[in-house]
Structure 1
Amino acid sequence: MDVLAERFEENRGHLRAVAYRMLGSVSEAEDAVQESWIRLSRSDVSGVENLGGWLTTVVGRVCLDMLRSRKSRREDALEVYVPDPVVDRDDSVDPEHAAMLTDSVGLALMVVLEALPPVERVAFVLHDMFQVPFEEIAPIVDRTPASARQLASRARRKVQGRTPREEVDRGRQREVVGAFLKAARAGDFEALLAVLDPDVVLRADTGAAAVGGVSRLVSGARAVAQQALTFTQFAPYSRLALVNGAYGLVTAPEGTAFSVMSFEVADGRVVEINLLADPDRLAELAIPALPEA
């Protein structure tokens, strides 16, 4: 068992990365990884040549079950949902987070993945992000390899059609997010407009508070800038951070996380903002202490 546990630990980072992309939840991803360990410990894998591949398919099945269960629970829920962000200081990235975000998985992409049907999400994540052959994906989604290929293809078209173009220069990202924060702190409406793309989208998820109508989807620079002005009172408590590998903001009055904002930047302007302000979910995330912005 000790040897088996050691081999599992060698694959844990990869499995966590797979599960996070599948589920968009850090805690659920860890649950899925633990379930894969339970299934491994109860299985005879003496004839398995590629244990990593075997574990990947197991965690894929576990995640598919969790996605299906979640879908049935969320059918009557509000549409505005922001997946769990992965937050780091820009000068000190958690090694586990780095492994989870290999190839950079921005929060905007995670939002798009949330909208996919479970089988499409599993097929797309396994094939396009982790190069799992369709022959191995097929039994997970209970399809033929050809059908599994079609599932991934449909998901790919949806992802390509809805994922915003992204600025890859981290220094430029920092500059734009810093300008947004400066404008928000000053309550400067015109400065906010200058940093926002005309078609910018703001997605705000406040969790349980959404019952009161707080969670919302806001579109257009003027509407988003107006919404940002309501953030001015909290802006002094905001700090720059890496959110899923790109620059974002963490607001933490008295050291307790109040919100996490991710920004998608293109051509020097903000094209999408995803804000998580669900206190219950934020309390479960590992958010580091951040230096002054």
Structure 2
Amino acid sequence: MDAATVERFEANRDRLASLAYRLLGSAADAEDAVQDTFLRWHAADRDRIEVPEAWLTKVVTNVSLDRLRSAQARRERAAGEWLPEPLLDGDPMLGPADTAVQRESVTLAMLLLMERLSPVERAVYVLREAFAYRHTEIAEILDITESASQQHAHRARQRIAAGRAGGRIDQAAARRVVEAFVAAASSGDVDRLVALLTDDATGISDGAGFGPARKLLRHADPRRLAIALRAAFLPTPAKRKLVGGSPSMYAEVVNGSPALIAALGDRVVGVVVLAVRDDRIAAVCGIADPGRLGRLTRWWRRREPAAPVITSW
């Protein structure tokens, strides 16, 4: 493959990765999907490809759909042990963020909501809402009719309508939300923490202080959630031993939402992402599985973070 052909692919890499990430919810799987697409690009008869960008989009979309449909993926997601992989603000895999729909399509709350969709519905929704493809183009990408694309989009919007998140969060706003959360969670005053939560607030974790590792726990009652959060936030020798020390806590933006990052030196050991609605916390997502923190840690090492909210937890 000549340099120009490689450069043509590389010019599309970030866009392809952000599309695959929205479809799969996993940065590692998205990277694999992009690599598979590159191998197919390498093997293709490129002289017969009229619009390379469209060809690459079709391939990465269908490679991602194959992964979503795989037996292993269905088992993992059905077992309730799956959570999206968090990405730090500034990561190009987050993709376009010019509109409210584009920004919310990559929040952890929305990635979890999209689990309710069939693979094709998810693909149509992402291509239409996050990347502004026309239904004629989506039909070509997915080998379906234009009317089928419209029907899938309609059903997808209905299923996730209740999951709309808040507006754009900047670093200063994120720090205010995280500082209020930390102050309430560490105060021991459950009522103070309840006051920060919406009436329908929920919590989900892979074991980031909420319960046994790799076991997802959900709370739909704000007081029960506040009690669980308070217990999770309380440092203990066992928790410090589990993560390897006393991490510092930083206020950051992760997947467009305020987040609390726990880091030991340059290694991220946990993330708590807060979904905000009407100035209150609507959902808390805790992630501590090292397998889900690899890319975020790599990007964390590239930046100089602001002063920690908690120097030593």
TM-score interval, normalised by the smaller of the two chains:
0.7 to 0.9
Q: Look up the match of 1:270.
A: 281
1:240 and 2:251 aligned:
yes
Q: 1:164 to 1:205 in 2, by over 3 A?
A: farther
Paired amino acid for 2:222: A
- Structure 1 distance, partners of 2:278, 2:16, is 35
Tell me how many residue pairs correspond in the alignment.
285
Paired amino acid for 2:79: A
Q: Cα offset for 1:126?
A: 1.4
What's the Cα RMSD here?
2.7
Q: Secondary structure at the match of 1:230?
A: helix
1:74 and 2:76 aligned:
yes
Q: Look up the match of 2:168.
A: 168
- Structure 2 distance, partners of 1:275, 1:75, is 17
1:164, 1:272 within 8 Å by CA — same for their partners in 2?
no
Matches within 5 A, 1:57-72: 57-69=58-70, 70-72=72-74
Q: 2:272 aligns with which of 258, 261, 264?
A: 261
Q: Cα offset for 1:259?
A: 1.9
Q: 1:258 to 1:187 in 2, by over 3 A?
A: farther
2:21, 2:93 within 8 Å by CA — same for their partners in 1?
no
Q: Look up the match of 2:241.
A: none
Q: Cα offset for 1:100?
A: 6.4
Q: Look up the match of 1:181.
A: 182
- Structure 1 distance, partners of 2:299, 2:11, is 25
Q: Look up the match of 2:239.
A: none
2:202, 2:225 within 8 Å by CA — same for their partners in 1?
yes
Q: 1:167 to 1:189 in 2, by over 3 A?
A: farther
1:249 and 2:251 aligned:
no
1:167, 1:267 within 8 Å by CA — same for their partners in 2?
no
1:172, 1:268 within 8 Å by CA — same for their partners in 2?
no
2:201, 2:222 within 8 Å by CA — same for their partners in 1?
yes
Larger deviation, residues 192-201 vs 244-253: 244-253
Q: Secondary structure at the match of 2:232?
A: coil
Q: Look up the match of 1:31.
A: 32
Q: 1:288 aligns with which of 263, 285, 300?
A: 300
TM-score (norm 2): 0.81
2:214, 2:289 within 8 Å by CA — same for their partners in 1?
no
- Structure 2 distance, partners of 1:167, 1:128, is 16
- Structure 2 distance, partners of 1:26, 1:101, is 17
Q: Cα offset for 1:46?
A: 2.0
CA distances 1:161-184 after superposition (whole Å, capped 9, x unpaired): 3x1441435344432221001222
Paired amino acid for 1:144: T
- Structure 2 distance, partners of 1:268, 1:131, is 29
Paired amino acid for 1:177: V
Structure 2 residues without counterparts, runs of 5 or longer: 236-245
Matches within 5 A, 1:1-293: 1=1, 2-69=3-70, 70-74=72-76, 76-78=78-80, 81-88=82-89, 93-94=90-91, 96-97=92-93, 99=95, 103-104=102-103, 105-138=106-139, 140-161=141-162, 163-168=163-168, 170=170, 171-206=172-207, 214-234=215-235, 237-253=248-264, 256-283=267-294, 285=296, 286=298, 288=300, 290-291=305-306, 292-293=308-309
Paired amino acid for 2:289: D
Q: 1:100 to 1:66 in 2, by over 3 A?
A: farther
- Structure 1 distance, partners of 2:190, 2:266, is 28
Q: Secondary structure at the match of 2:47?
A: coil
Which gives a bigger RCO, structure 1 or 2 (Cα 8 Å, sep 6+)?
1
Q: Cα offset for 1:201?
A: 0.8
- Structure 1 distance, partners of 2:69, 2:84, is 16
Structure 1 residues without counterparts, runs of 5 or longer: none
1:200, 1:219 within 8 Å by CA — same for their partners in 2?
yes
CA distances 1:144-203 after superposition (whole Å, capped 9, x unpaired): 221122112211111213x14414353444322210012223333222112111211111
2:269, 2:290 within 8 Å by CA — same for their partners in 1?
yes
Q: Percent identity?
A: 33
1:263, 1:273 within 8 Å by CA — same for their partners in 2?
yes
Paired amino acid for 1:127: R
Paired amino acid for 2:52: L
- Structure 1 distance, partners of 2:167, 2:38, is 38
Q: Secondary structure at the match of 2:253?
A: strand
Q: 1:257 to 1:114 in 2, by over 3 A?
A: same
Q: Secondary structure at the match of 2:268?
A: coil
Q: Cα offset for 1:138?
A: 2.8
Q: Secondary structure at the match of 2:193?
A: helix
TM-score (norm 1): 0.86
